[in-house]
Structure 1
Amino acid sequence: MGADFTVFKGSKNGDIVEAKGHRNPGPTEVIVKISHCGVCGTDEHYRHNDQGLGHEGVGTIVEVGSMVETLSDFKVGDRVGMSWLHKVCGHCDACLSGNQNQCVSKTEFGTANQDQGCFGTALAWDISTLFKIPEEIESEYAGPLMCGGATVWSPLYDHGLKPGARVGVLGVGGLGHLAIQFAAKMGMEVVVFSGTESKKQQAIELGASEFYVAKSPDSLKDVEKIDAILVTASVLPDMDIYLPVLARGAMIFPLTVSTENLKLSPLNLIVQTLRVIGCATAPTASIRAMLRFAAKQGVKPIIEKFPMTLDGINEAMTKLNEGKVRYRGVLVAPQ
């Protein structure tokens, strides 16, 4: 049977265009009717491509492929989420060691299945990268967790940080406000750094233990050393400001998607035995754990909703680029 769908795509000149498509499910795929999709900053990077946009989708399974019920417990009616990765092989060394996000044969947003996207009415999705949404999480909040939530969860969960660790969050925005919640509810001391005082009260309400306006190394001279820092600001920071507050062996997670260089000298790394760790989306088991944790602990994004229409998407993307969304945009499909 398959599904006819509408999808909103990028174009060479950057305009969002509406297109039609059809997909039949492959043996290990399901057809998902999309209800919501988060709007992520990385969608902007692909709006000049002829491809479906959106990678923080949530919806309901309406059809399953021939092998789905044999290989999984997914079924028609399940509410599911999907993210950056479209499919992983399951048999390479990365997959077999539980690092599916490093699969050597993975297909992903921007390079595969470009006829479809989560900015749309329906799509076909492989069960290897599909996730059931817990009942406690409403669909409008689930979308941003699939990418934004997973991005900040992985440094905290997959890299050995424990309750009591002092974790710095640089920036209170789409990623940062989720990082604060996860770290605080995991029992860590959350130290927030920002360029102004404007978001101090919000950061404290979200769970921050401390808040500092970071303008120079002297502005942070009284800060107790931190064990890790998540760089979530929209622009890369001057790391000279933050080096004095990093404990020996501290981890630096640059989560801002940028082609610019994060400036750190080898001497900085050697003297303080620092580690710079790249993190994208999380492994499969980690994302499942993130969704369970968010459901039980009440972690959810602060969202602004827009209709999943051409006008709605353009408005959402414009506000995102202007830095006016607080803090994650979510598209809502017409009922």
Structure 2
Amino acid sequence: MSEVKGYAATSELSGLAPFSFRRRELRPDDVSIEIEYCGVCHTDIHFAENDWGRTNYPVVPGHEIIGKVVAVGNDVSQFTVGQRVGVGCMVDSCRQCASCGQGLEQYCREGMTPTYNGRDRHDQLPTFGGYSDGIVVAERFVVRVPDSLDPAAAAPLLCAGITTYSPLKHYGVKPGDKVGVIGMGGLGHMGVKFARALGAEVTLFTRSRAKEAEARKQGADHVVISTDPDQMAAAREQFDFLLDTIPVPHDLNPYLDTLAVDGMHILVGLIEPIEPTIHSRALIAKRRILTGSLIGGMPETQEVLDFCAEHNITCDIEMLDMADINKAYERMKQGDVKYRFVIDMKTLK
């Protein structure tokens, strides 16, 4: 086993601090990666501070990982030493169920193995994430990073990117569709870019008038201020799809009314009970669909990186020294980042 350095939270109130631990020896299908960059997702905060009541301490967050291959197991055929690769939100699954067979490992019947705060399926040791200088991952759960992508800006594509790309592709967004993106954070700005690249007419819904110019810069054709009753009334029954990236409970009813007949409201940000209650009339009267989506499987995660390389899409990022991670968490809670922090792992050394 090899010793690596990282940052971990040891309790709900500890914050993150230096932490050394050991990675496993290479299994035949393993890839050993020296981490160069790791994006900072809001989920990292939830686990570090046990907001969801299921954190296993110590926890090393980080599931938007970019690095270079430094060693491979004997059975590895897809990757070679020196190649730049990525690791996202999961590092294993049962690999045998119907979902895994379709490349939808995120919906594994036994549950995917998360990159951190999980248990290895073979040795039952805890999984530790990308706030560290190295990681060992099974080949199936590693993706190639195209040479044309900026590696730091590519890191958030492994969570924020795939989370917004997957439902747009799965539900068939195409040129001419009208897509509304709700919220303008790390997920939302990627949703705008992807919907635009797929040929849709894109509208951003935001509570802040100050974000209008930024939304247009990101590629939005229109902006609706969701707190303005007149603008929301004018948007009624206009949209084919809504991509809802807001991570906290919010009233879905006004947004549902902006969908056309057969329109679809896709939740990708909220992992909590829906409050207030949805009025069924909003669904029944126009045959609307309320659905959700969770990241993407491994084939689709590779697809999103290739799509971004083809369309010159990356996440807007702010580089971060590892020692400043606790300050970054506080800024994220205040919405003070455009749109994703990315840790430069050279600063860990």
Same fold at TM > 0.5:
yes
Whole-angstrom CA distance in 2 between matches of 1:273 and 1:198: 34
Offset at residue 117 of structure 1 (A): 1.3
Equivalent residues of 1:236, 1:256 under 8 A apart: no
- Whole-angstrom distance in 2 between the partners of 1:258 and 1:97: 24
Pick which of 25-34 and 100-109 moved more: 100-109
Deviation of 1:188 after TM superposition, in Å, equals 0.5
In the TM superposition, what are the counterparts of 1:1-335 in structure 2 within 5 Å?
Answer: 3-14=2-13, 15-23=15-23, 24-48=25-49, 49-69=57-77, 73-105=78-110, 106-108=112-114, 109-112=116-119, 114-215=126-227, 217-223=229-235, 225-262=238-275, 263-308=277-322, 311-334=323-346
On the 8 A contact 2:41/2:340 being kept in 1, the answer is yes
Residues of 2 paired with 1:28 and 1:303: CA distance?
Answer: 33
Q: Is the 1:3–1:31 Cα contact (8 Å) retained in structure 2?
A: no
Letter in 2 for 1:91: Q
Q: Is the Cα contact below 8 Å between 1:42 and 1:257 reproduced in 2?
A: no
- The question of whether the paired residues in 2 share the 8 Å contact of 1:61 and 1:78 is answered with yes
Number of equivalenced pairs = 329
Post-superposition offset of 1:54: 0.6
Q: Which one-letter code corresponds to 2:200 in the other structure?
A: M
Q: Distance in 2 between matches of 1:182 and 1:260?
A: 27
Answer yes or no: is the 8 Å Cα contact 1:38–1:144 preserved in 2.
Answer: yes
Amino acid at match of 1:294: C
Q: List gaps (5 residues or longer) in structure 1.
A: none
TM value normalised by structure 1: 0.93
- Secondary structure at the aligned position of 2:137 is classed as strand
Question: Which segment is superposed worse, 16-25 or 256-265?
Answer: 256-265
Q: What is the rounded CA distance, in whole Å, between the counterparts of 1:75 and 1:53 in structure 2?
A: 26
Segments of structure 2 that go 5 or more residues without pairing to the other structure are: 50-56, 121-125
Alpha carbons 2:215, 2:223 under 8 Å: kept: yes
CA shift for structure 1 position 228: 0.9
- Normalization by structure 2: what TM-score? 0.89
- Deviation at residue 156 of structure 1 after TM alignment: 0.7
Q: What SS class does the counterpart of residue 199 from structure 1 fall into?
A: helix
The code of the aligned residue for 1:52 comes to: V
Deviations along 1:215-273, one digit per CA (max 9) or x if unpaired, are 15543222261011111124333223222211111111112234231532233222222
Instruction: Give the residue type in structure 1 aligned to 2:268.
Output: L
Separation in structure 1 between the aligned mates of residue 2 and residue 68 of structure 2, nearest angstrom = 13
Q: In structure 1, what is the Cα distance between the partners aligned to 2:160 and 2:107?
A: 18
Report the AA paired with residue 251 of structure 1: M
**Paired residue for 2:53?**
none
Structure 1 runs of 4+ with >4 Å offset: none
Task: Indicate if the aligned counterparts of 1:29 and 1:65 stay in contact, CA closer than 8 A.
Answer: yes
Secondary structure of the structure 1 residue equivalent to 2:79: coil
* Separation (CA, whole Å) in 2 of partners of 1:66 and 1:176: 41
* SS of equivalent residue, structure 2 residue 48: coil
Report the secondary structure of 1:181's partner residue: helix
Amino acid at match of 2:311: Q
Q: Are the counterparts in 2 of residues 301 and 327 from structure 1 also a CA contact under 8 Å?
A: yes
Q: Is the 8 A contact 1:191 1:211 kept in 2?
A: yes
RMSD: 1.7
